[in-house]
């Protein structure tokens, strides 16, 4: 056996210095050695200079297809999130909560599972209950017209408040919907100022007008964004005691008038509470328009105070 060391060619490169060949001993081995070296050197050089094939540039059509698939995937993910949010919000209306009922009519009433005003029931009577209501903030607007529950006026005021709640404010904050929607009538006797005789009465712009208000989410407290619509006002409602009577169906001006008269009449015989001087009726509506009439919960409330013993 002959061991032959072949000298490298100059084109092989710095990474192949010598090629070691082991050739079996035979009469013709001397003649084949140089040929073998000649064959081995090019093979080694080929292994050293091999590089990956260049990437084929992507065509315009392939780029469009890739973009379409990426957008479809993103849209699918967004649709799933929106569907989940929609299901969560729908559940608040499909699976509502109920107040403690005093009769069959109230037992059928249901309200959406949304944040509402916090209160404590102080006492229950046959026809009404007395509540102590914690302070809360409202967004309020004056309703057009002289009636509080005509469809056009109520819809217009509701939309104004809904726009504020869902982003038409200085910080473009989208806030959660709450319940109930309050409607109240401003006192019609004006603002009395104690002066010298006679007592003067100052007429205000909202005198005798109906006001609609949304309860603001409690997490904001006093740090609510300012409305961009000047017709929307932010107010804090202080703690108060109210007498409340609940009823189902749709709210009309005549219905509110009759319920208010009956509540005022019932409170005349209450041994502990009386209607606060200057108190005006306040109507709370808890349900969206698509709710069946017999499951709707509405309330008429009057602010009261304890009788002096």
Q: 208 or 234: whose pLDDT is higher?
A: 234
Distance from C-alpha of 241 to C-alpha of 262, rounded to nearest angstrom: 18
pTM of the model: 0.65
pLDDT of residue 110: 79
| pLDDT value at 221 more than 80 | yes
Task: Give 275 or 154, the one with higher predicted confidence.
Answer: 275
**3-class DSSP state of 309:** coil
Answer with the residue of higher pLDDT: 43 or 202. Answer: 43
Instruction: Output the pLDDT for position 245.
Output: 95
Q: Mean pLDDT, to the nearest integer, of 33-47?
A: 45
> Which tops the pLDDT comparison, 138 or 31?
138
pLDDT 10s digits, 136-170: 999 999 998 777 788 888 889 999 999 999 999 99
Of 111 and 51, the structure prediction assigns the larger pLDDT to: 111
> In angstroms, how far is the first alpha carbon of the chain from the final one?
130
Q: How far is CA 107 from CA 51, 102, 125, 224, 296, in A?
A: 82, 7, 16, 36, 11
Strands 282-285 and 298-306, how do they pair?
Answer: antiparallel
88-306 carries CATH number 3.20.80.10: yes
* Structure confidence at residue 101 (pLDDT): 64
Domain boundaries of the chain, sorted by first residue: 2-47, 88-306
């Amino acid at each position: 056996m002959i061991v032959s060391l072949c000298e490298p060619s100059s084109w092989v490169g710095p990474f192949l210095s010598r090629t070691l060949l082991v050739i079996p001993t035979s009469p013709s081995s001397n003649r084949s050695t140089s040929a073998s070296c000649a064959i081995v050197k090019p093979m080694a050089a080929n292994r050293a200079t091999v590089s990956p094939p260049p990437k084929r540039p992507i065509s315009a059509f392939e780029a469009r297809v890739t973009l379409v698939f990426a957008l479809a995937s993103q849209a699918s993910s967004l649709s799933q999130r929106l569907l989940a949010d929609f299901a969560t919000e729908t559940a608040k209306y499909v699976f509502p909560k109920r107040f403690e009922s005093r009769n069959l009519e109230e037992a059928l009433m249901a309200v959406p599972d949304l944040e509402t005003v916090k209160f404590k029931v102080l006492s229950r009577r046959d026809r009404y209950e007395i509540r102590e209501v914690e302070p809360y903030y409202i967004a309020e607007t004056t309703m057009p017209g002289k009636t509080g529950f005509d469809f056009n006026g109520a819809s217009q005021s509701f939309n104004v408040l809904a726009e504020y709640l869902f982003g038409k404010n200085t910080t473009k904050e989208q806030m959660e919907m709450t319940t109930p929607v309050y409607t109240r009538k401003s006192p019609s006797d004006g603002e009395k100022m104690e002066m010298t005789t006679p007592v003067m009465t100052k007429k205000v712009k909202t005198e005798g007008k109906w006001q609609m208000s949304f309860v603001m989410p409690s997490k904001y407290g006093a740090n609510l964004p300012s409305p961009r619509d000047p017709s929307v006002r932010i107010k804090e409602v202080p703690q108060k005691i109210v007498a409340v009577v609940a009823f189902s169906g749709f709210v009309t001006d005549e219905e509110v008038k009759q319920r208010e008269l009956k509540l005022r009449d019932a409170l005349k015989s209450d041994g502990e509470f009386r209607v606060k001087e200057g108190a005006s009726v306040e109507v709370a509506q808890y349900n969206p328009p698509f709710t069946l009439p017999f499951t709707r919960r509405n309330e008429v409330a009057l602010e009261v105070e304890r009788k002096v013993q």
